[in-house]
Amino acid sequence: MGDNPSRSTDATAGGSGVTGRHARSAGTGVSPSSYEEPPIGGGGAPLQRKARFSMETGFRGLSVAAGAMVLVIIVAIAVFLISKAIPALQANTANFFTDTKWFPNDAQPNFGIAAIAFGTVLSSVIALLVAVPIALGIALFLSHYAPKRLANPLGFVIDLLAAVPSVVFGLWGRDVFSQPVKDFSVWLNHYFGWIPIFGGDGPFGRSILLGSLVLAIMVLPIVTSLSREVFQQTPGMNEEAALALGATKWEMIRTAVLPYGKPGVIAAVMLGLGRALGETIALALTLGTVFTISFNLIQTGGNSIAANIANTFGEANNIGRGALIASGLVLFAITLVVNMAARAIIYRRREFRDSAA
Amino acid sequence: MSMTTRSYLAGVVMTPDNIRTKKLPLGINLLVAVVAFGLAAAIVYGLGIGNWVLVVALGWILYLVGLFVAASRVEGRRAARNRAWQSLIYSACVLAILPLASVVWTLVSKGWERLDANFFNTSMNNIGARDPNGGAYHAIIGTLEQVGIATLIAVPLGVLGAIYLVEYGRGKFANTVRFFVDVMTGIPSIVAGLFILSFWVLIVSPWFNNGEPRFSGFAAALALSVLMLPTIVRSTEEMLRLVPGPLREGAYALGVPQWKTILKIVVPTALPGIVTGVMLAVARAAGETAPVLLVAGGADAINFNPFGGNQSSLALFVYQQAGDASKYAPARAWTAALTLVAVVLILTIVAKMLARRNSLTR
């Protein structure tokens, strides 16, 4: 058993060799040959040692199993989703990746994720385009502009917002926010209808624009709190050096804070993207549920993988469930890649920071 | 700055008045604002292209531009740019607070309507489209049971996993686990729901139910525990790392084995922080709708048994009432949303208060 290295490194008192030998003799359970060893660092009868050792192994094994559980769950998610998706994909009469229709419950099931995958990406990207500049503004305000008495409560409120359930934002988007967005859409269509994304002749309202704006509000707290943390970690020396060279506050932020925080901000944005891609209920309540690929932002329409699962799960039959699971598998793969990339950036940055410190 | 240098070179004596750069007087600032909004109102109403919202938006843009121009003439380009960015950053804050204030206001004003005793002690059983009453008792029961079971599953696993990462984990495997714990925090809740659907509801539950798949509150609890696990591991790991090394060394020096040191010294020291992390995870799980929708099935009647039959939850209740055609449904949805937000926020605030009183800080 390679039991002792960590223990002996932690418990630096007593020679590691001594502990090692004890563990071995205890492990074999042979009655002790303590006359071979110098008595220092010994202590305790061998039989008692053995009992402790087994407890130690048991606890360690338990904790290793709990740690490994995370890997097991991630692998299990992939395995079980694939196993349930395959029958539906085999029954599918259309191309799963290029088709836009979603009729998995028909006698001749035909469905494809092209439209809903497109809607997922489009709504998330627009949400980030809206949310990221605002989130960075708030993060800079909290870290560099606001007086401390204001920054702490405001940061607390932003953290609380991250805890508000998505169904509440969805309900608000549908019952309250949709009316102003509808008016705005009509206005946009009237004056900017010549731009294709604002074209069309209605109806307006439950559109990609509404879904994306609600999504933006939900992503905002995550991006804000992560970027704020990064900005606060900027070494004071760098900031003071910039100011000492005569930089204005904004120039200091541009030359010292933003370059230092760039990897962290990228990671924060990608985590926000992961959250936006997987968001379900808010989009299920605000999007128009249409299975077409269209860049039009303001006409009623739009759909996403997650929203489609929530909306059509109720009437799905066996193949229909398999089809939804297959679309969920695609979503899982996308978010896994986005999250892994984000974490890889954060990890590299952490090593960089730790070695610099 | 450049001005002071120049004047110094010209041999002018420096006084407090001329070493400071010139600042834009507040009066001009206000003047720019008045002119900008006046101009915006004139344009918008004169051409009839919009209402007061457009006036505010256009006025704000004109104000920022006007301020930049005025400041560049008085203070110089760099100071003007500084001022412009500062205004933009302040505007971002105001812009973000507006929708949030609206959410809070709507929650309270619309949720107030049905906030009565009937809402909290009746279910939706036999409540038709024309019945104004009906409540969320069954949903509250469901939320409590599901979140409770999920906590019972996720907390031991999560704490043990964190103990592995901090106390035992060395080398590549530990790093892999740590990395995937972080990745797992980003798994969408609907994917966790689909996982339990395909694993528990469609494969395991038929064994206990004569070959028929069965929705249950327990399945929802499993899905929620999948979502809670990484959060708990992360927060517990951070807390365990804050426990001072000398405490462990002291225990080792007294001959206490490592497992006992962890259970009796390390975990109790970090306990307040661990509790904070668990409460935050519970708050998040209580607000999840998608997994419950997929695996608990939703129900109108009260069902105390989490292992048999459909169950609802507060979040799912909000979603279902939002999709209900009855004219009384929105009021129920908003009241349930208000209840849900209250529960989640109270949990979060208490957790953060505990965290502040925690003596282990970075």
State ipTM. Answer: 0.86
In-domain check, residue A84? no
d(CA B168, CA B171): 10
Buried b vs exposed e over B107-137: b needs ≥16 C-beta within 10 Å?
Answer: beebbeebeeeebeebbbeebeeeeeebbbb
Alpha carbon separation from A227 to A266, A289, B87 (Å, rounded):
9, 33, 19
Averaged over B304-312, what is the pLDDT?
A: 87
d(CA A118, CA A120): 5
Interchain proximity A67–B319, CB inside 8 Å? no
In-domain check, residue A302? yes
A67 shares a domain with A111: no
Whether A9 has a pLDDT exceeding 50, the answer reads: no
C-beta separation of B89 from A151 below 8 A:
no
A322 shares a domain with A226: yes
Query: Which one of A168, A252, A275, A329 would you mutate to disrupt binding with B, by most B Cβ within 10 Å of its Cβ?
Result: A168
Whether A330 has a pLDDT exceeding 50, the answer reads: yes
In degrees and rounded to multiples of 5, residue B178 shows phi and psi of -60, -45
Q: Which residues pair with A111 in a beta bridge?
A: A102
A69 shares a domain with A111: no
A156 shares a domain with A245: yes
In-domain check, residue A94? no
Which residues on chain B are in Cβ contact (under 8 Å) with A151? none
A29 shares a domain with A123: no
A153 shares a domain with A65: no
pLDDT tens digits, one per residue of B257-273 = 899 999 999 999 999 88
* Architecture of the domain delimited by B119-357: Orthogonal Bundle (1.10)
In-domain check, residue A324? yes
A283 shares a domain with A245: yes
d(CA B40, CA B44): 6
- CATH number of the domain where residue A211 is located: 1.10.3720.10
In-domain check, residue A325? yes
Q: For CATH 1.10.3720.10, list the domain ranges present in chain B.
A: 119-357
pLDDT of residue B159: 95
DSSP-assigned letters across all residues of B184-249: HTTS-HHHHHHHHIIIIIIIIHHHHTTT-----HHHHHHHHHHHHHHHHHHHHHHHHHHS-HHHHH
Residue among B195, B341, B349 whose CB faces A80 most closely? B195
Place of tokens 């559980």: A69
A144 shares a domain with A56: no
In-domain check, residue A314? yes
Q: CB atoms < 10 A from the CB of A341, how many? A: 16
d(CA B311, CA B201): 14
Interchain proximity A220–B96, CB inside 8 Å? yes
In-domain check, residue A82? no
Which residues on chain A are in Cβ contact (under 8 Å) with B179? 340, 343, 347
- The whole domain housing A240 covers 102-356
In-domain check, residue A238? yes
Q: Which residues pair with B50 in a beta bridge?
A: none
**Domain end marker among A18, A41, A76:** A76
A168 shares a domain with A22: no
Report the number of distinct structural domains present in chain A.
Answer: 2
Cα(first)–Cα(last) distance of chain B, in Å? 40
A63 shares a domain with A149: no
Over chain A, what is the mean pLDDT?
A: 82
A109 shares a domain with A68: no
In degrees and rounded to multiples of 5, residue A11 shows phi and psi of -85, 85
A68 shares a domain with A115: no
Residue among A66, A177, A187 whose CB faces B161 most closely? A66
Say which residue, A285 or A354, is predicted with more confidence. Answer: A285
Residue among B190, B322, B340 whose CB faces A174 most closely? B322
Residue among A6, A141, A175 whose CB faces B170 most closely? A6
Shortest CA gap A95–chain B (Å): 22
For residue A87 the two structure tokens come to 């029958």
Place of tokens 């998610």: A77
What torsion, rounded to 10 degrees, do the Cα atoms A244, A249, A255, A257 define? 110
Which residues on chain A are in Cβ contact (under 8 Å) with B291? none
- Chain B 295-324, CB below 8 Å of chain A: which residues? 315, 318-319, 322-323
pLDDT tens digits, one per residue of B188-203 = 999 999 999 999 988 8
Which residues on chain A are in Cβ contact (under 8 Å) with B100? 157, 161, 217
